[in-house]
Structure 1
Amino acid sequence: MSCFGKVGTNISGLNGALVVGSKAKGAVGLPSSSGSLSFGESEKTKFPALRIDFMGKQLVLSDKRALGDWSVKAPSGFSLRAQASICVSRAMRWWEKTLQPNMVEINSAQELVDSLLNAGDRLVVVDFYSPGCGGCKALHPKICQLAESNPGAIFLKVNYEELRTMCQCLHIHVLPFFRFYRGSEGRLCSFSCTNATIKKFKDAMAKYGVERCSIGPAKGLDDSELVKLAEFGEIPRDLRRLPVPTGNMVMTSLEKSGSEKRAVTRMETEDKSPLIIV
Structure 2
Amino acid sequence: MVKEITSKEEFDKILSESGDKLIVVDFTASWCAPCKRIAPEFKRMSETYTEVIFLKVDVDNCTALAQEQKVSALPTFKFYKNGTVYYTFNGAIVSGLESGIKKYSASDAEPHFNADGVKPSCVVL
1:166 Cα deviation (Å)?
A: 2.3
CA positional deviation for 1:160: 0.7
Q: What is the letter of the counterpart of residue 75 of structure 2?
A: P
Taking only the aligned residue pairs, the percentage that are identical comes to: 28
**What is the alpha-carbon distance in structure 2 between the residues aligned to residue 156 and residue 204 of structure 1?**
15
Matching of residue 188 in structure 1 with residue 86 in structure 2: yes
Task: Find the counterpart in structure 2 of residue 210 from structure 1.
Answer: 106
Which residue identity does 2:95 align to in structure 1?
Answer: K
- Aligned-residue Cα RMSD (Å) equals 1.8
Unaligned runs of 5+ in 2: 110-125
TM (norm. structure 1) is: 0.38
The amino acid of 1:150's aligned partner reads Y
How far did residue 170 of structure 1 move?
Answer: 1.9
2:43 is aligned, of 127, 134, 144, to 144
Contact 2:8 2:64 in 1 (8 A): no
- Could you tell me how far apart the structure 1 residues matched to 2:30 and 2:67 are? 17
Q: How does 1:75-224 map to 2 (within 5 A)?
A: 100=1, 103-183=2-82, 186-194=84-92, 197-211=93-107
Q: What CA deviation, in whole Å up to 9, does each residue of 1:208-234 have, x standing for no partner?
A: 112459xxxxxxxxxxxxxxxxxxxxx
Paired residue type of 2:23: V
- Structure 2 counterpart of 1:205, which letter? I
Runs of 4 or more off by more than 6 Å in structure 1? none
Report the secondary structure of 1:152's partner residue.
coil
DSSP 3-state at the match of 1:189: strand
Spell out, residue by residue over 1:18-68, the C-alpha distance to the aligned partner (whole angstroms, 9 max, x if none). Answer: xxxxxxxxxxxxxxxxxxxxxxxxxxxxxxxxxxxxxxxxxxxxxxxxxxx
| CA distance in structure 1 between the partners assigned to 2:68 and 2:48 by the alignment | 31
**TM-score when scaled to structure 2?**
0.80
Letter in 1 for 2:67: Q
Q: Which secondary structure state, in structure 2, belongs to the residue aligned with residue 162 of structure 1?
A: coil
CA distance in 1, matches of 2:21, 2:67: 26
**1: CA distance, partners of 2:67 / 2:20:** 27
Note the alpha carbon deviations across 1:67-96, whole angstroms, 9 max, x for none: xxxxxxxxxxxxxxxxxxxxxxxxxxxxxx
